[in-house]
A and B are shown apart, each in its own frame.
Chain A
Amino acid sequence: MAIPLRRTIPHLFMIAYVIIILVPFIFILFSSFKANNTEIATHPFGLPKSWEFGNYKEAWVKAKINVYFFNSFYLAFTAAATGVLFSAATAFAITRMKFKRTSGWIYQFVLIGMLIPGNVLFIAQYLLVQKLGILDTHWSLFLPYTAGALPFSVLLVSAFMKSIPHELEEAAVVDGMNVFRMFFQIILPLTVPALVTVFIVNFLGNWNEYLLSFFFISKDALRTLPSGMVQFRDAFQTNYALVCTGIVFSVVPVLVMYAFLQRKIIEGLTAGSVKG
């Protein structure tokens, strides 16, 4: 008797935790289908009296969530992909090519970047982007996103590449393979697990980034999801149902992606933080 009880105690605590995680989502989901503020206020927990799918249509059109979504996706993707490519190339050069001293310097130089907390550079980056004349264009996000991920990516990919045995490319050199084929056909495929980690960390980081996207972009058509949603909330502050609908729109795709890729995402993000 005592043992089954003791076994259920951890479950009780965990179920409480899980409820705390899930209840806000359910509240938002129900609210998004309700007719108006009064219904949310008077029946906060119940199912909506009638399911107002109109909210979804209205939010989609008014909030331009499709535009924000597309912007976020392609910026997060291109910046993460570019970051992966650049860091893999650099990691290859400093771990596999025969310029030991220079490589050591470059490695140390990049390491400095890991010490600088992101938002410290915010103002200076803002002024830089202004000076470059790319404020209010997607370049003002693409470049800092790509650059911001480099120190961590280079370190992680370098660590991984160091562990690949040197015999491999020696054999390739004997076969007369040039350095590009060696990079793309031998080393890169072997590094894929590290690259995937780096890509996921950077993609999610860019996807969720708020500070730069809020202050560097003011054109509605160029906004990303995080800053677009804040703008949407501020414009429709008092229409709770509509804003809840916006939240559902912005959360669901991420959760779907998470449902499919959860193991990869969890591994990637946690590995990323420990190594960093």
Chain B
Amino acid sequence: MQKKLVSVLALSVAMSAFLAACGSNENNNTASPSPSESASPSPSPSESAPASESTAPEKVENFTVSLRHIQIGDAQKFRKAILDDVVTKTEADVPGLKIELDGVEDSVNRFTKLPAEMAAGNPPKIFDVFGGSGDTQKYAGAGRMLDLTPILDELGLKDKFLSGVLEPFSVDGKVYGLPIGGNTEGIFYNTELFAKYNLNPPTTWDDLIKAADTLKQNGITPFAVGSKGAWVPNMLVNTFIGRIAGEGTNAGFITGASQWNSPDVVAAYQLFADWEKAGYFTKGELGKEYGDMLNDFVAGKAGMMFDGSWRSSAFKNDAVGAEIAGKVAFVNLPAVPNGKGDQSSVNANYGEGYGFSSDLNDNELKAVKAFIKNMYSEEMQLRGLLEDGVLPSMKLTDVSQVTDPIVKQVLDVLNGATASFPHFDSVVQSKVYTETETQLQKLIAGKATAQEVGTAIQKVQDAENAAAAK
């Protein structure tokens, strides 16, 4: 019995020594991959060292750079492939570099991990980040993000970006983040179902309402939606606000030029509530994830869905929505009757991209530069458009290679637009944005009226605006 106990103790001492070894290495960013990872039986393929490393003749200092991305799951595989290629290239460009990929779900990264890491001052060296005052501008103001202006000048990239897309990532004329691409949010519809019920494409309000009612009568959900994460239904609310209250409304919330509880914005929420009441959305939507929405649409349980143009890649032949490939079309939300806004405006977002820690040593800076050079190139932008349906954030000389019908329709929508407005999630403070999610779910659950929703959000908006003015 004593022997047993002693051996247990010895084992536990050995284990804690092992733990100690892991911990001390993890604290050191420039160390080689930590033992805990080399000990884990199956490192992911992307972590295997690039071939060039072994062929390098001179002895180079090995170092790792952490990279936080959000491309996890099947639906993101095209973007992950592009990222993997950029990582491989970058590792080949910089001797001794190993990029450590860390994939985290989008909202977890945006609302949980990154804020905490920013507070502690130890964000990953390269990370996925959103533009706007709730994200990039807040972190840049606190000195946590690298000023990219000199790097853009050095690489000659500054003028390559589309006009205005760097704005949400800039503070006082300095650029702190680079949008990876853009999107617009509109209606995807199932052309087969529309043909079956003799419906016109939902390009006018009357056709849209007629389609929704007809689908509903035939036991098909008009709009698939997954509202467990309220950012999903918020897409439609955002476009309603732009159309009904005008395309300048979203930008005006933080200046006080527009109010959430103004009659126009409340009317937008009321329209949403009316659709809710009419049964246009998936039943039990508050328990459905974003992925369920696509599933329902692909399975033909729903005839339409309001989603971002990035979803177009799901309907390729080798993607999750392959079942209905070729039977999907994309249109802008039709003109809303009595809307105050420009009715052919589109919502256009260049809100998501990469940012970089301000705390970098020389080696890491080299890695960051190489990453920017490889990621923000015409080649990768074009691949993003062709393979993944992501609209380029940079000027492309040649888009004639676009063959995907949905991507073409998305480009048509953008070309046909006379004005554009941003999503309010890239404009308002994060507390206000989170309040819009909370309140929208209450609206969906029937626990709040449109007026109550507007009042509650405006209360948070007032407090945040007052705090910002201090």
Using a CB–CB distance below 8 Å, which chain A residues touch chain B?
37, 61, 64, 66-67, 70, 74, 77-78, 81-82, 85, 126, 130-131, 133-139, 142, 184-185, 188-189, 192, 215, 218-222, 231, 234-239
Contact = CB atoms under 8 A, between A and B. Distances in A.
A189 B4 CA distance: 10
Interface of A is mostly: helix
A85 B9 contact: yes
B2 interface: yes
Interface in B152-172: none
B10 to A, nearest CB: 11
Contacts, number: 101
A235 B12 contact: no
B104 A218 contact: yes
Contact of B105 (A61, A142, A185, A234): A234
B23 A236 contact: no
B73 A236 contact: yes
A134 B73 contact: no
Contacts of B103: 220
Nearest to B100: A219
Nearest to B289: A237
Given A64-B42, A78-B12, A221-B40, 4 more contacts: A70-B40, A218-B104, A236-B73, A237-B289
The 3 residue pairs across chains A and B that have the minimum distance between CB atoms: A81-B12, A235-B73, A130-B120
Contact of B291 (A131, A139, A237): A237
B434 interface: no
A82 B102 CA distance: 30
Nearest to A37: B295
A218 B73 contact: no
A222 B36 contact: yes
B74 interface: yes
A81 B42 contact: no
A77 B12 contact: yes
B203 interface: no
13 contacts: A74-B15, A78-B15, A82-B16, A85-B12, A126-B116, A130-B120, A133-B27, A137-B22, A138-B23, A139-B19, A220-B44, A234-B289, A238-B289
A134 B27 CA distance: 7
Contacts of B73: 235-236
A66 B42 contact: yes
Contacts of B9: 81, 85
Residue of A126, A133, A136 most packed against chain B (CB within 10 A):
A136
B292 interface: yes
A66 B39 CA distance: 12
A77 B44 CA distance: 26
A131 B68 CA distance: 21
A78 B5 contact: no
Contacts of B43: 221
Nearest to B8: A81
Interface in B102-140: 102-105, 108, 112-113, 116-117, 119-120, 122
Contact of B295 (A67, A221, A231, A238): A238
Contacts of B68: 218
Nearest to B9: A85
Contacts of B119: 130
Contact of A218 (B26, B44, B113, B120): B113
Given A135-B122, A221-B37, A82 B12 contact: yes
Nearest to A218: B113
B57 interface: no
Contact of A81 (B1, B15, B27, B36): B15
B22 A235 contact: no
B344 to A, nearest CB: 35
A137 B41 contact: no
A218 B102 contact: yes
A231 B22 contact: no
A130 B42 contact: no
A219 B72 CA distance: 13
B104 A138 contact: no
B36 A192 contact: no
Contact of A189 (B5, B23, B291): B5
Contacts of A185: 2
Given A82-B12, A130-B116, A237-B292, A138 B22 contact: yes
B40 A78 contact: no
A183 to B, nearest CB: 12
A142 B36 contact: no
A78 B102 contact: no
B19 A142 contact: yes
Interface in B14-42: 15-16, 18-19, 22-23, 26-27, 36-37, 40-42
B41 A70 contact: yes
A142 B108 CA distance: 23
Nearest to A199: B8
Contacts of B74: 236, 239
Interface string B59-78: 00000000010001110000
Residue of A130, A131, A185 most packed against chain B (CB within 10 A):
A130
A235 B40 contact: no
Nearest to A185: B2
A66 B120 contact: no
A220 B113 CA distance: 13
A86 to B, nearest CB: 11
A215 B116 CA distance: 10
A258 B26 CA distance: 34
Contact of B41 (A66, A74, A222): A66
A192 B122 CA distance: 44
A219 B1 CA distance: 40
Nearest to A69: B41
A130 B121 CA distance: 9
A38 to B, nearest CB: 9
B138 to A, nearest CB: 18
Contacts of A235: 72-73, 105
Given A131-B120, A218-B102, A221-B36, A137 B27 contact: yes
A126 to B, nearest CB: 8
A138 B36 contact: yes
Residue of A66, A188, A189, A219 most packed against chain B (CB within 10 A):
A219
B41 A189 contact: no
B361 to A, nearest CB: 17
Contact of B42 (A67, A135, A138, A231): A67
Contact of A231 (B2, B105, B112): B105
Contacts of A137: 22-23, 26-27
A75 to B, nearest CB: 8
B87 to A, nearest CB: 16
